[in-house]
Amino acid sequence: MVYLDYAATTPVLPEAAQAALAAMTEQWHNPSGRYAAAAQSAKRLEADRSAIAKALGCQPGELFFTSCGTESDNWAIRMGAHLNRRRGRHLITTAIEHAAVLETCKDLEKEGWEVTYLPPTSEGTVSPEDLRAALRPDTVLVSMMLVNNELGSVLPVRELCQIVKSYNRTILFHTDAVQGFLKVPFTARALGVDLLSLSGHKVHAPKGIGALYVRSGVKLPPLLTGGGQERGLRSGTEPTAQIAAFAEAVRVCAATSAADQAHMSALKEYALSNLAKKLPSVEEIVHGEAPHILALTLPGYKAEVLVRVLGDRGVCVSAGSACHRGKPSHVYAALKLSKPRRDGAFRVSLDRSTTREDLDALVEELVRAKEQLFPTMS
C-alpha cells in the first residue's frame, strides 16, 4: 500500500507506542494520588509536558492536555469569547477553517454572537487588509489557522496577530496549528498568539490526545469542570499513556523536523514536476508553502471516483479533509473554483517516510485512472 493521506492521520511511531505501553503497564498510577508511585506518574507527566512545550516554544505551564484538536479549538473559542463577553460579542475567523472552528462559531451565532468569516485570497490565505477592515470596537476574539489542511497554504499568523494587537491588545488571538506543528517552522512565542491548538495523531502519536497553549496571563475559563486536573483548567484524570506517546513522538520528530521538512518539500516539487511531464491535465489548486500537502485537481473528473479507484489499486489519497465525510468541501467553495476544478479536487499529503517511489506509483496510477475513467459533463 502507498499511503499518501498523512494530513488525515499518521501511523503511531514504535517509540511512541512503547512509551504508551510503559505508561499503561509500569507507571499506570493516577498522577493525582498522594503516594510515591503516583508521584512518579506525576513526575513523568510533567516531563512529557515539558518535552512538547520545548518543541512548541512555550513554557510547560502554558500547555494543557485535551482529548484532541477539536476539543482544543472548542475550548479556545468558546471560553475565549466567554472571557471577553462583557466587552463585545463579535468574532472574526476565516471561511477556510477546520470544521472544529467553523461549527463552534456557528453555534455561538445561535447564542447571539456575530461572526465575520473572511474570504480566502486566490492563494488560499487571508488578506491583512481584509482583517483590518473587519476589526470593530466590539471584536473580542480572532481565530485563524496556521496551515490549511486541504490546501497546504500557510497563513501569515504572526502578521495577522500583530494587526489585531495593534488595534486592541485585549482581543484574543487563537490559531489552529494542528497541520503546522513540526511541519512548518514556528514557535508559539514568535507567533504572538494567545491560544494555540495541537493534535497528537497528526505527528505520529495516537488518536485521542491534543493540547492547548494558553499564553501566560490569559485567564481562560475551563471548558470541562470536575476534579481540577491540569491546574484547574481541564478536569478529568490525565490520559498518561496517550500523553507519554504524544511526548515521545514529538521528541523523535522534533529532532529531525528541519531535515524532514526539507525532505517533504523536495518530494512535493518532484511530484509536481513528474505530473507536469506525464499528466499535465492535473493542476495544482494553490501552491501552498506547507511542505507536506499538495492540493490538486483533475478538472472534468469526479474526485470521489478517482480516490476510490486509486484506493482499489493501493494508493491512498483523499478528496479533501477526512472530516467532510463525503460532503462538498467548504474550502474549495470559498476559493470559488469552477465546478469542473472543484469536482476534480483531491489532496495528496506526505510524511517524513514518504519516498520518490511512492510518488512514482501515484503518478502511474493517476495516468491509468484517467485513461480508464470517463470525464463528467460538469
Q: Which residues are catalytic?
A: 323
Quick one: CA dihedral 84, 85, 86, 89, positive or negative? Answer: positive
Q: Which amino acid is at 378?
A: S
Contact 128, 269 (CB under 8 A): no
Contact 117, 94 (CB under 8 A): yes
Q: Quick one: cell of 286?
A: 494553490
DSSP string of 18-51, one letter each residue: HHHHHHHHTS-S-TT-SSHHHHHHHHHHHHHHHH
Quick one: CA dihedral 375, 8, 158, 113, positive or negative? Answer: positive
**C-alpha closest to that of 171 among 142, 193, 132:** 142
Q: Which amino acid is at 377?
A: M
- Across the beta sheet with 283-284, the strand order is 283-284, 293-297, 345-349
Contact 272, 291 (CB under 8 A): no
Q: Which amino acid is at 7?
A: A
